[in-house]
């Protein structure tokens, strides 16, 4: 019995069309901004047992994004390899010894990048979107929320739906990379929307917490082992050990104490 190639081609086309459509539908949930500025209103979460933001860390592995397993209190082989690499670099004279600078560059590929997700109203369209951001912008949001100049007479914060503040997001390209340092909350307090619009927006919240699905241990372990082997080959075997290797963890910035797609905001 022969295979109908025409039907096979139709099936192939339909699967790829469907996959692309699903991916596009997924991306449309996110707040997207080319260079320039736009305003959003950060929304609260509708459950008391979960935060208004979702927090993760992303390991970039062979062109794919993996959520760090540490965010779910699971063992992460990539993090283990990252710390082990820096310990070895320090034990062999630091990053300036021999070929250790190249080894440090390879080690940085193991590091997880913090990521935060919140729901927001996109002021351009009025739609509820997911705002994905890195640590610097998220830290700026928290700092402003705690700033007395932005706290209302009755304790209203920038997140208050009645007397809160819109966030102006400014995206620039600096050195070829997106930069959001000029982003800031508007000083004037305003309602997020009418009562009816707020109720509708809260009904349309995206499940930001479901975005954090930790990576497969086997896939991550394979990448960690390959990178560790590369680092071990790069490190000069003639480098002299130092006494600081146990306590110095290089540039890890202790990201695991604040664990936080290809969406790099």
Tens-digit pLDDT profile for residues 93-137: 888 888 889 999 999 999 999 999 999 999 999 999 999 999 999
- Residue 3: pLDDT band (50, 70, 90) is low
Q: Report the chain's mean pLDDT, rounded to a whole number.
A: 84
Tens-digit pLDDT profile for residues 138-188: 999 999 999 999 999 899 999 999 999 999 999 999 998 899 999 999 999
| Bridge partners of residue 113, in order along the sequence | 58
For residues 216-231, average pLDDT? 93
The answer for 126, left when phi > 0, alpha when psi is -120 to 50, beta otherwise, is left
pTM of the complete model: 0.78
254 pLDDT above the threshold of 80:
no
Which CATH number, 3.30.60.50, 3.30.70.3170, 3.90.198.10, 2.60.320.10, labels domain 30-236? 3.90.198.10
């Amino acid at each position: 019995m022969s295979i109908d190639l025409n039907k096979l081609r139709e099936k192939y086309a339909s699967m790829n069309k469907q996959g692309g459509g699903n991916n596009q539908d997924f991306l449309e949930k996110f707040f997207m901004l080319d260079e320039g500025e736009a305003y959003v209103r950060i929304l609260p979460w509708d459950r008391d047992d979960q935060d208004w933001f979702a927090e993760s860390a992303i390991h970039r592995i062979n062109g794919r994004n993996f959520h760090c397993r540490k965010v779910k209190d699971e063992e992460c082989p990539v993090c283990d390899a990252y710390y082990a690499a820096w310990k070895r670099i320090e034990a062999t004279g630091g990053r300036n010894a021999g070929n250790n600078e190249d080894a440090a560059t390879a080690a940085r590929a193991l590091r997880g990048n913090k990521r935060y997700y919140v729901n927001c109203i996109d002021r351009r369209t009025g739609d509820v979107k997911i705002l994905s951001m890195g640590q610097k912008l998220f830290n700026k949001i928290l700092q402003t929320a705690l700033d007395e100049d932005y706290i209302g007479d009755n304790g209203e914060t920038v997140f208050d739906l009645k007397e809160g503040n819109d966030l102006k997001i400014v995206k620039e390209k600096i050195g070829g990379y997106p930069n959001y340092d000029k982003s800031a909350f508007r000083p004037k307090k305003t309602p997020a929307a009418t009562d009816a619009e707020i109720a509708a927006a809260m009904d349309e919240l995206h499940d930001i917490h479901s975005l954090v699905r930790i990576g497969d241990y086997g896939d991550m372990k394979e990448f960690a082992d390959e990178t560790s082997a590369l680092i071990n080959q790069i490190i000069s075997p003639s480098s002299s050990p130092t006494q600081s290797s146990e306590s110095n963890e290089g540039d890890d910035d202790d990201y695991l104490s604040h664990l936080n797609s290809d969406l790099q905001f």
